Amino acid sequence: MEKKALLVISFGTSYPETRKKTIEATEMRLKKAFPDHDFYRAFTSRMIINKLKKRDNEQVDIPRDVLKKLKEAGYTHVLCQTTHIINGHEYDITLKELKAFEKDFESLTLGRPLLTTVEDYEETVDIVMKQMPKLKKGEALVYMGHGSDHHANSTYPCLDYMFKMKGHEDVYVGTVEGFPELENIVPLLQEKKYKKIYLAPFMLVAGDHAINDMASDEEESWKTVLEDERFKVECILEGLGEYAGIQDMFLDHLKKAQAVAEM
């Protein structure tokens, strides 16, 4: 007898309000599409898992631990979908954990991160620009991506290029922990003589980085740095997971999920 499970794998967040609007909203979209599968959640950030356990007494498992439970419970078919943005460290770790179980189920599949194919970039740009304010003359939009020392950090300059290719000349993509950094973007903003800058996170959730590193009044936040450069700044605290179009992209990736043994 077949016993099916759906496992949605996210980096995680310790901010309950944004989690409800992003991670949980995306999970719900996937759950509705696969009503014959029992739903399970996993986070990949051990730091967030530990914080939730200590602060809220809430237990969220890493993917490996969920798969152990599914194996013991007799599940035969497991569909997995990551909500990571890039094919970076977190995705690599996830795939490695899943591969250890590739022979334990009749089928074990995984859907890829948001930005995997060229078509993903094109579709994502179209979706997010419909959610952003229409830029007027003298205005620019700067996205804050997470960034990484993984080679997949190339996603961010590629994304910046895609915005330009699709006619959004006043949109820029920077990162907190990779390239390009804000300091690489400021001279471009000054050269174009923008008056107002919109800031928005290019992350699934509007969590710690968006609230503190981007939008706070702290000395080194992106908002403060840009204001010190005499730009007027408006912050948009919305995670990508809030947008129905992005949720649908993850669903499409799930429908195209590959067998873990072949990845």
* DSSP of 168-189: -TTEEEEESSSSS-HHHHHHHH
- Indicate which residue of 37, 146, 168, 253 is catalytic: 146
Angle, helices 244-255 vs 23-33, to 10°: value is: 50
Asked if residue 175 and residue 76 are part of one domain, the reply reads no
- Residue 235, strand partner residues: 199
Asked if residue 182 and residue 97 are part of one domain, the reply reads no
pLDDT digits (tens, 9 = 90+) for 2-58: 999 999 999 999 999 999 999 999 999 999 999 999 999 999 999 999 999 999 999
Asked if residue 200 and residue 223 are part of one domain, the reply reads yes
H helices within the chain, ranges in order?
Answer: 16-21, 23-33, 46-56, 63-72, 89-99, 118-131, 155-165, 182-191, 208, 222-228, 244-255
Asked if residue 234 and residue 173 are part of one domain, the reply reads yes
Asked if residue 150 and residue 67 are part of one domain, the reply reads no
3-state secondary structure of 26: helix
Q: Is 146 a catalytic residue?
A: yes
Q: Which residue from 75, 64, 66 is spatially nearest to 97, judged by alpha carbons?
A: 64
Asked if residue 178 and residue 151 are part of one domain, the reply reads yes
- Report, as an integer, the average pLDDT of 107-122: 98
Cis peptide upstream of residue 180 (ω within 30 degrees of 0): yes
Q: What is the mean pLDDT of the chain?
A: 97
Confidence (pLDDT) at 88: 96
Q: Above 90 in pLDDT, residue 1?
A: no
3-state secondary structure of 3: coil
Q: Is 177 annotated as a binding residue?
A: yes
Q: Output the domain CATH number for residue 64.
A: 3.40.50.1400
Distance from chain centroid for Cα 51: 20
Asked if residue 232 and residue 139 are part of one domain, the reply reads yes
Q: Which amino acid is at 111?
A: G
The DSSP 8-state label assigned to residue 88 in this structure reads S
SS3 content of the chain, % helix, strand, coil (to 5): 45, 20, 35
Q: Confidence class of residue 182 from pLDDT cuts 50, 70 and 90?
A: very high
Whether 139 and 197 have beta carbons less than 8 Å apart is answered as yes
Token couple for 29:
């979209």
Confidence (pLDDT) at 30: 98
Q: Is 146 annotated as a binding residue?
A: yes
Q: Which residue from 249, 184, 241 is spatially nearest to 25, judged by alpha carbons?
A: 241
Asked if residue 205 and residue 103 are part of one domain, the reply reads no
Query: Which range marks the domain in which residue 21 is found?
Result: 4-115+243-262
CA-CA distance, 250 to 79, in Å (whole number)?
Answer: 13
Asked if residue 189 and residue 145 are part of one domain, the reply reads yes
CA-CA distance, 160 to 33, in Å (whole number)?
Answer: 32
Asked if residue 232 and residue 135 are part of one domain, the reply reads yes
Asked if residue 175 and residue 85 are part of one domain, the reply reads no
- Structural domain count of the chain: 2
pLDDT digits (tens, 9 = 90+) for 69-88: 999 999 999 999 999 999 99
Q: Which amino acid is at 170?
A: D
Q: Above 90 in pLDDT, residue 67?
A: yes
Token couple for 17:
């309000």
Whether 26 and 241 have beta carbons less than 8 Å apart is answered as yes
Asked if residue 214 and residue 130 are part of one domain, the reply reads yes
